[in-house]
Amino acid sequence: MEGNKKKGYAWAIFAGANAAMAAICSKYFDSQFKFALVILFNVVMWGCYVSSLKALPSLQATVTNFAINFLCSGMAGFLLFDETVSLQWFAGATLIVVGVIIISKSSIEEKTHDD
């Protein structure tokens, strides 16, 4: 089961990275080619996301996907588009990563009924 969970996180990470790539392509390219790339990266992202949902609870898959997308998009903005990244951005990114780690370590307890 532990290996299946690791695969789930890997799929969620790939999904987040592909979502960021779709956004990067839509901003970076200025032609019809960008539409094909955006569609391609979104289709791959959804495939990876669905695969992550098969191995992880939906909350863990979703927050991992979101966090990776946020981090990749922010770093791409800094590296590719010369956007400024403030100390507040790093503080927020750190809080998001810590939140993802807390959520990923938490376990969902099953309710037991005394009927």
Render 2-67 in DSSP notation, one character per residue: HHHHHHHHHHHHHHHHHHHHHHHHHHH--SHHHHHHHHHHHHHHHHHHHHHHHHS-HHHHHHHHHH
The predicted-structure confidence for 64-105, as pLDDT tens digits, reads as follows: 999 999 999 999 999 998 988 899 998 998 998 898 888 877
Q: Residue 83 to residues 2, 34, 54, 65, 78: CA-CA distances in angstroms?
A: 39, 21, 36, 23, 5
Q: Between 91 and 108, whose confidence is greater? A: 91
Using pLDDT thresholds of 50, 70 and 90, give the confidence band for residue 108.
low
- Taken as a whole, the chain contains a residue count of 115
The predicted-structure confidence for 39-63, as pLDDT tens digits, reads as follows: 999 999 999 999 999 999 998 899 9
pTM above 0.85, yes or no: no
